[in-house]
Amino acid sequence: MLTFAGTEGQSLAVLLSMLEPAVRHDLAAEHERLQDDLALLAWLIEAAPGSADVADLSESLVRRMRDHVSRDGRLLERAARLSAQR
């Protein structure tokens, strides 16, 4: 999933281009926040593997990524329907 997320913009450029600019901007901003939090998690695991922050951040990331993937799927389905109607 993380590998795909890194290339999502290129892989889905045609469908993403059909979304409103504000929606594309929000998706990009959310990807950046997730990437930043993943980097923080990696640092925490190295610096303080037994910290409660590791578990808390991990749980938060899993929940946010599930929500994000679900929302991305709905948006891309909408873009695909729009593309098919053209």
- At 8-66, the pLDDT tens digits run 666 667 777 777 889 888 888 888 898 899 999 999 999 999 999 999 999 999 999 88
Does the residue 77 lie in any domain? yes
Does the residue 70 lie in any domain? yes
Which tokens belong to 38? 């993943």
pLDDT computed for residue 60 by the predictor: 93
Residue 58: domain span: 23-85
Q: Supply the pTM of this predicted model.
A: 0.70
pLDDT computed for residue 77 by the predictor: 80
Whether residue 63 contacts residue 34, with contact meaning beta carbons closer than 8 Å, is answered with no
Does the residue 79 lie in any domain? yes
pLDDT computed for residue 83 by the predictor: 73
The domain tally of the chain equals 1
Handedness of CA 9, 74, 76, 24 (dihedral sign): negative
Does the residue 60 lie in any domain? yes
Q: Could you count the other beta carbons within 10 Å of the beta carbon of residue 45?
A: 15
- Residues 6 or more apart in contact with residue 54 via CB below 8 angstroms: 41, 44, 45, 48
4 or 79: whose pLDDT is higher? 79
